Amino acid sequence: GNTNAAADVPTTSAGAGAREAVVVLSIEGMTCQSCVRNIQSTVGEKPGVVSIQVSLERKEGEVRYDTSATTAQNIRDHIDDMGFVATLPHTGVPASCVVQIAGMTCMSCVRNIESTVGAKHGVTHIKVSLEAKEGRVEFDSTVLRADQVAEMIDDMGFDATLKQISDFKTHKTIVNGALNQLMTTQSSRSAAAEENHRRGSNTTSE
């Protein structure tokens, strides 16, 4: 057989690590270690799957995957297709992305995108800015990929381009970091103004 495809599987580069997620699935129907090995070898070769560890005792599988290449639902489907019954956990893996949107002309466009995309399965929050011509979308990465979010907006007749993807922790850090930087800049400015004022008052008293 052709082994070239297998050689290309390990794609755990430093860049890919930022988009990795882990999902633990319940797996019913396993009877022996042969089932375990079968699931691990078959699912482990699927695109986007970085690693998989299956436990017969706990009836579950822990899968680390690249969220830009696959979803937890795809992984569940792979296991289902093998004749087992795989169930996803109810808690999702939050992620966010920024989509550049061209073609919006008014607030009606904004509301249309927010209501349409916001109602899609897997989307938890969306905020669109007409001025910045972009939308920030928070979504469940076990259900959706960032490029699928951009496609939803594209399908509505707008020109949507993916600008930025991050897991939720990174997203919060970016937002908080920007706020802290703004506050630091403002406080340093006020400190400088205060220093100038003090210098001015010292010269007048002398």
% of residues, the chain, pLDDT over 90? 52
Q: Whole-number mean pLDDT of the chain?
A: 80
Q: Is the dihedral of CA 53, 54, 58, 60 positive or negative?
A: positive
- Summarize pLDDT for 34-88 with one digit per residue, the tens: 999 999 999 999 999 999 999 999 999 999 999 889 999 899 999 999 999 998 8
- Summarize pLDDT for 76-118 with one digit per residue, the tens: 999 999 999 998 876 667 889 999 999 999 999 999 999 999 9
Confidence of residue 192 (pLDDT cuts 50, 70, 90): low
Domains of the chain: 20-87 (3.30.70.100), 94-167 (3.30.70.100)
Alpha-helix runs per DSSP H in the chain: 4-7, 14-17, 33-44, 72-81, 107-118, 146-154, 168-205
* Order of strands across the sheet that contains 49-55: 49-55, 60-66, 20-28, 85-87
What's the mean pLDDT in 113-136? 92
* Residue-level pLDDT at 166: 72
Q: How far apart are alpha carbons 121 and 108 in whole angstroms? A: 22
* Residue-level pLDDT at 95: 87
* Residue-level pLDDT at 167: 63
Q: What is the pTM of this model?
A: 0.43
What's the mean pLDDT in 22-41? 95
